[in-house]
Structure 1
Amino acid sequence: MPEAVRLLVASRNAKKLKELRRVLEAAGVSGIDLVGLDEVPPFPEAPETAASFEGNALAKARDGAAATGLPCVADDSGLEVDALNAMPGVLSARWSGGHGDDAANTALVLAQLSDMPDERRGAAFVSACALVVPGGDESVVRGTWPGTIAREPRGDGGFGYDPVFVPEGESRSAAQLTPEEKDAASHRGRALAQLVPAIAALAGS
């Protein structure tokens, strides 16, 4: 039995590791051992200062591959709200000032849209995923999940802006979907699915 190929996921978010694991399993890819940042020696991580999701994802994946010698997949994702000129965008995680305060970020977006009629509440989740192989190929892909912003949070699944995002064709928020439903439709699921052939090639499967 050949040894599994270790693939670094440049994240400390256990949900992101599980999501990629589910995507690979659904695609029938085996021989890949996913490891998170908590499972490798610490290294300096560049700040996310690029103007695009793609730029941030590539920077993270390059850092991870260079520091560990492992192929590295990284994503940068966020919410683009039509009425806010596609903001918060790359600032999604720190829209309210602090980093990663989901409740404050969500409350600020709802406040900014408080007087917007339903037909002007369009939005999309966007994810750019990059795969960097040390001394080898780099690939970066984008997935988009269109929808609208609800008037109040609903559901307790997911994370980030999921409770106020209602995907196109759905009456439920992203936080009310099952993990499997979310994987099948989500921006990150759509982006990761495009990386599956390159990840499968690492394992020779």
Structure 2
Amino acid sequence: MNLKLVLASHNSHKLEELRRVLEPLVPGIDLVGYDGPEPVEDGLSFEENALIKARAAAAHTGLPALADDSGITVGVLGGSPGIFSARWGGRARDDQANVKLLLEQLSDIAEEHRSAGFVCAAALVLPTGEEVCELGVWEGDLLTEPIGANGFGYDPIFRPAGERRSAAEMRPEEKSLVSHRTRAFTELAPAILRLLGPAEEERSKE
């Protein structure tokens, strides 16, 4: 069985990460990169933005498409930064500005009220129109200053539940076992098998 899907991302590191996650869960998966245009992500939730990206990739390539959208949510901020995580500091993809602003906003918040979670929505869209989206959450809390050099984004200030280390102090292979992205795509794997597995493959030949 060979299941060819496209990942709606130009990020080669994400492609390799998701291959590692999905290959044990979906035997025969052939996940390829996407070279098409990026859609406008104007959804109001992680799920909506993930589906927007997957729909665009499926339409452009004619292949079943996977996509994800992720960010960090903070309890005392009502779930923000949320879908605005990548540009919270005012400039898209400026990790230092994002972390600096978030720490300033939480400067007077006691440790017991600094709960946070990384959230990932993983979407599957088929060219025939079927859509599935699953959420993965990595719970934890926020430190008062960045620690560690292995991560990116908010990793240096995020301490996973049950850990004494920040996410940026964890080895990449450790993080990939428990991250929000791994959790979301693990939840999505049964849908990939259900919609694209052997039974569906046989039906498509009829």
TM-score normalised by the chain length of structure 2:
0.89
**1:69-127, Cα deviation, whole Å (9 max, x unpaired):** 01111111110011211100000011111111111111111111112111111101111
Whether 2:29 is the aligned partner of 1:22: answer: no
Count of aligned residue pairs for this structure pair:
198
CA contact (8 A) 2:23 2:29 kept: no
> Structure 2 matches for 1:25-44, cutoff 5 A?
25-27=23-25, 29-37=26-34, 40=35, 42-43=36-37
User: RMSD across aligned C-alpha pairs, in angstroms?
Assistant: 1.7
**Unaligned regions of 5+ residues in structure 1, if any?**
none
My pick for the range that moved more, 170-179 or 85-94, is: 170-179
Distance 1:64 1:47, change over 3 A: same
> Structure 2 matches for 1:115-194, cutoff 5 A?
115-194=108-187
Aligned partners of 1:149, 1:204: CA distance in 2, in Å?
44
Aligned partners of 1:11, 1:171: CA distance in 2, in Å?
32
- Aligned to 2:198, the other structure's residue is in SS state coil
How far off is 1:181 after superposition? 2.0
How far off is 1:15 after superposition? 2.6
CA contact (8 A) 2:156 2:168 kept: yes
How far off is 1:137 after superposition? 2.0
**Unaligned regions of 5+ residues in structure 2, if any?**
200-206
The one of 166, 183, 198 aligned to 1:204: 198
TM-score normalised by the chain length of structure 1:
0.90
How far off is 1:142 after superposition? 0.5
CA contact (8 A) 1:153 1:164 kept: yes
CA contact (8 A) 1:32 1:203 kept: no
Give the residue type in structure 1 aligned to 2:5: L
Report sequence identity in percent. 54
Residue number in structure 2 paired with 1:55: 48
- Aligned to 2:148, the other structure's residue is in SS state coil
Give the residue type in structure 2 aligned to 1:36: G
- Aligned to 1:55, the other structure's residue is in SS state helix
Aligned partners of 1:145, 1:11: CA distance in 2, in Å?
22
